[in-house]
Amino acid sequence: MLRQSFEEKKALSAGIPCFSTLFGRDSLISAWQTLSLDPQIAKNTLAILAQYQGKTKDDWREEEPGKILHELRLGEMARCGEIPHTPYYGTVDATPLWLILYAEYYAWTGDRHTLEQLWSAALAAMDWLDRNCQATGYLSYKRVSPGGLLNQGWKDSGDCIVNSEGKLATGAIALCEVQGYVYGAKIRLSAIAKLMQRFDLAERWYRDAQELKSRFNKDFWLSDLDYCALATVLDLEFERSGGTTACRVPKKRGNLKVVFEA
């Protein structure tokens, strides 16, 4: 595995030749998958991404306070400001994935020092989740940077999210799997909050997770097709009425089940 140095720490690069750099989603998932083999990878990944955690609102880089980066570039185009990757924050899933890895790292290692050291970053990441879920109840994305990605989940090509007619989805898009990440982050951080003597947060985050589970099963399940929608497009102009439109994908391998379990 190719690692990249950041001062005294190292994180996994996404891949050669074009993606030999730091990616939020890729490094977090890889660190999670190797946690039982080498927890130091997860520890370093958490710390490096916390170092670059969003501090201000910057539309060009799609940076927001508490948000975890998508991609960091150090080349000429980045230095000259021709691309927003210094770093670029246009990803909807890196922040909940960082929270999941934060909790999983502690579950595997019992490293209380790192848990406390990164607690402020965890709180900032949770605040970002809550702010972005407030309007509709779902974590969604919509590109704001002209140099950014149109789609900001793991399927991030420009034409990957379509509706049932095969037309490109537009508007704020809430991906199916991302709501699962949010649920997982809330459940895990509820337990962490108890360890940190923040019983108010523990109760609120657990309640948020249960409400999300119920809401998701109602809004994403396509009863006529017997599987979950790939995504819903949130009509933010009518967000108070909860308007959503399902983006469906063709059924290929039998029935898909609801991602949440009781």
- Each residue's pLDDT tens digit, 65-107: 999 999 999 889 989 889 999 999 999 999 999 999 999 999 9
At a CB cut-off of 8 Å and minimum separation 6, what does 80 contact? none
Structural domain tally of the chain? 1
- Each residue's pLDDT tens digit, 7-34: 888 988 887 877 878 999 999 999 999 9
Radius of gyration, CA atoms only, the chain? 18
Residue 258, in any domain of the structure: no
- Each residue's pLDDT tens digit, 167-211: 888 889 999 999 999 999 999 999 999 999 999 999 999 999 999
Q: Residue range 133-148: average pLDDT? A: 94
Output the CA–CA distances (angstroms, integers) from residue 218 to 41, 212, 215, in the order listed: 38, 10, 5
CB 208 within 8 Å of CB 182: no
- The CATH number covering residue 54 comes to 1.50.10.10
Name beta bridge partners: 225. Answer: none
Output 257 or 202, whichever has higher pLDDT: 202
Output the CA–CA distances (angstroms, integers) from residue 197 to 36, 105, 116, 121, 202, in the order listed: 28, 19, 12, 17, 9
Range(s) of the domain holding residue 217: 3-247
Residue 255, in any domain of the structure: no
Beta strands in 118-259 (DSSP E): 172-175, 221-222, 227-228, 231-234, 244-247
Residue 260, in any domain of the structure: no
Residue 179, in any domain of the structure: yes
Residue 256, in any domain of the structure: no
Residue where the block lists tokens 């249960």: 210
What's the pLDDT score for residue 17?
Answer: 79
